[in-house]
Structure 1
């Protein structure tokens, strides 16, 4: 490696000179870096637009059918006996419910035993009969004739029951086998036929009778095998908590349209729409703000907002729900008018967003259009990303080549300046030697 003198001979700041020369030659790289930054920023803008379009699509999908748009609320006079929830198909009205009995699963328990793992039972079979079904015979042999083995054999038999072992705290025989029916309201009969062994055969005692849930809705008896009851009232789910204990008692239930919940869904749709309008407007100062991919969604969405859906639906346009387009293109919602429409013409609101028959509603049109422009293969972002990635790869390659060229240029410059310094240093040494010789000659001449 050659020694870099760095201006010792010439007095020049060669490092600074080289730095300035390289800085001037770096201009093309800086232009490429600005182009790269621009492309990344533009792609980020289209990525943000895609996210907002997807958000609007999700809100539109929440309005594209009566089931999604409509929200009902079920309100009991008290939550002591049951809790309720209502779906979009719930039938509005007033109801009286009496909880006669809760669904319970039959339980059988054995006497206590001293050990879980000891194989002290005899061998033979256990008989398990659930309801009116055929009894299941469970074989007990030398491999499973412990309390834990019997439990596992019962659970593996698929007989319609589950077995568990509890510890009741008895100092001598604390372990007891508990059998629980899989389904409420189903009776269970168990018996053991074992021979040999030091442990007595399990004797099963019923601790809980299997009963079905029983409620009365406006005096009509309804039975289920679960404490979660559906379709006793269309669209309403009732979770039973406690029996009334009095045949004449009942708890009132009111099912109504949830106007606020429906309004909230529509407002969320409007908010997502306004977010796109505002975002696109903010891009106007950037060159990509004039890109067709940025402007087209706004124009198309505005056209769909202002167009009538057609057909014979009582509501034809969003303006009839109290939505007005502002100067900046956003929508403003008249809350009073929107709630009145939901409360007094729910079918019209559903038809406006979800459509009916051959007529597409506003939400359906939005959803279909937005699916296309956000498609991961052919959508707006997909197209811009493909072009941008190609351009970025090309720029990165150009920058890499330019950087290699500059590295070589720096080595060349340093070699040239080093050579110059060495030459000047040599000339200085020669000059000093000649001056010394001239001085000596002059001195000799003066002595004569």
Structure 2
């Protein structure tokens, strides 16, 4: 009788179970793929938002006269006096003469052989400023050198500083020693005088330099200041006086800084073109896939482009420079990008800075592109009604739903996997039981044949 072939196992490949489990997880993989695609799209949209934000920041510098106007100070003698200015300063040329620089009051002691060995007395000395503040410098007998006194004065932080200087006077005069204590008022000007009563010390102070105010002649008017930095002469002007030159007439001209204004315009053109280029690229067909960009079907891009293009298409009712094209800014009809002729813009500004500015800022009778486009951008960014925040909320909502769906399907897949593995175990046990019965039967049949 032919032998009966009995399997020793179930004969079911365990990989088949894993494959069934993977089939159950396929919908999850599809959801995760769609989620990743949306996240990539969201990242691209965030890039667009960043470009729009940069454009908005640039436009903020072109909304009003205070934002847009740039002034500068040109000095005929920058080695004597220079200045800086803000937008509140009056345009014009002014004549200045520097009679005297402001100086600090300085007191000097007699000379000593060394700075850190010879005692200069002990007890105390009193220092008084012109403002009426006074303080005592206590001198310890064990710490009473020139350096000790200087350290003590400086540690008190009372508007007076002290330094030990090495004059090397002994090289010229054998009767003099090299080291002296120099006490300096930290304030300059006539009123910044320092008085020292050496009292129990061996120090003898003499006035080295008398404190003095800055003295200038501004437009034939005498002007004084406690320091050499003048901040209150006329609104918006700060002067840095470097040296005195009596008899030298200095011309200070406060004028429009066209170079800085041109920089602002150039940044605007560049930031606008980056936004335009981004949008234009989304609507272009890829020559390989013949598909447009992933954001091409997004209505927010169309809304953004329409808002920007509308803002830039305007003209002023009067004046030589009525359109942006008049000052070197034109639109490419094919791409929508702005073309910038800086030489033309510079020439226009040199001719009529105020007239050109009206194309960009809000004045009494005009509204320029700074306000028009800035308001459009702000509208797009409005947290409640803006297109961009609305799109953000849409992405957030869809991604949250993806996460919920993936979580539900993960639970279902887990339950299905457990069911499949339980069924596989039952089948394994059944087949194993049948195999065991087959072996017993084979043994019996084999014995009967014997």
Give the TM-score category using the shorter length.
0.7 to 0.9
1:192 maps to 197
2:227 maps to 226
Return the offset for 1:109: 4.7
The one of 337, 343, 346 aligned to 2:344: 337
TM-score calculated relative to the size of structure 1: 0.77
1:318 maps to 324
Return the offset for 1:438: 0.9
What is the count of residue pairs matched by the alignment? 419
Return the offset for 1:254: 5.6
* TM-superposition CA deviations, 1:70-96 (whole Å, max 9, x none): 334444455433444344456666666
1:178 maps to 183
Which deviates more, 34-43 or 55-64?
Answer: 34-43
**Kindly tell me: are residues 425 and 400 of structure 1, through their superposed partners in 2, closer, same or farther at Cα, counting changes over 3 Å?**
same
Matched, 1:239 2:236: no
**Kindly tell me: are residues 239 and 323 of structure 1, through their superposed partners in 2, closer, same or farther at Cα, counting changes over 3 Å?**
same
TM-score calculated relative to the size of structure 2: 0.77
**Kindly tell me: are residues 26 and 286 of structure 1, through their superposed partners in 2, closer, same or farther at Cα, counting changes over 3 Å?**
farther
**Kindly tell me: are residues 371 and 423 of structure 1, through their superposed partners in 2, closer, same or farther at Cα, counting changes over 3 Å?**
same
2:153 maps to 151
1:15-34 aligned within 5 A: 15=15, 17-34=16-33
Matched, 1:136 2:143: no
Alignment check: 8 A CA contact 1:154 1:163 kept: no
2:173 maps to none
In structure 2, what is the Cα distance between the partners aligned to 1:304 and 1:100? Answer: 55
SS of aligned partner of 1:355: coil
Alignment check: 8 A CA contact 1:47 1:381 kept: no
* TM-superposition CA deviations, 1:47-67 (whole Å, max 9, x none): 222222221111111122233
Return the offset for 1:257: 3.5
Which deviates more, 269-278 or 37-46?
Answer: 37-46
Which deviates more, 365-374 or 233-242?
Answer: 233-242
1:4 maps to none
Which deviates more, 259-268 or 209-218?
Answer: 209-218
Alignment check: 8 A CA contact 1:96 1:217 kept: yes
SS of aligned partner of 2:190: coil
In structure 2, what is the Cα distance between the partners aligned to 1:322 and 1:181? Answer: 53
SS of aligned partner of 2:128: strand
- Where structure 1 has 5 or more consecutive residues not aligned to the other structure, the ranges are 1-6, 444-448
Alignment check: 8 A CA contact 1:105 1:182 kept: yes
1:396 maps to 403
Return the offset for 1:30: 2.1
2:391 maps to 384
1:3 maps to none
* TM-superposition CA deviations, 1:125-184 (whole Å, max 9, x none): 846241xx5x335467899x995897379646xxxx3344647699x9979573414343
How much is the aligned-residue C-alpha RMSD, in angstroms?
Answer: 3.9
2:160 maps to 162
2:4 maps to none
The one of 330, 349, 353 aligned to 1:346: 353
Return the offset for 1:302: 0.9
Alignment check: 8 A CA contact 1:373 1:379 kept: yes
2:421 maps to 414
In structure 2, what is the Cα distance between the partners aligned to 1:425 and 1:391? Answer: 50
In structure 1, what is the Cα distance between the partners aligned to 2:241 and 2:150? Answer: 35
Matched, 1:35 2:34: yes
In structure 2, what is the Cα distance between the partners aligned to 1:165 and 1:78? Answer: 34
- Where structure 2 has 5 or more consecutive residues not aligned to the other structure, the ranges are 1-6, 169-176, 284-291
Alignment check: 8 A CA contact 1:325 1:331 kept: yes
In structure 2, what is the Cα distance between the partners aligned to 1:404 and 1:126? Answer: 86
1:278 maps to 277
In structure 2, what is the Cα distance between the partners aligned to 1:337 and 1:231? Answer: 38
In structure 1, what is the Cα distance between the partners aligned to 2:424 and 2:179? Answer: 97
SS of aligned partner of 2:104: coil
Return the offset for 1:290: 3.3
Which deviates more, 285-294 or 229-238?
Answer: 229-238
In structure 2, what is the Cα distance between the partners aligned to 1:68 and 1:180? Answer: 41
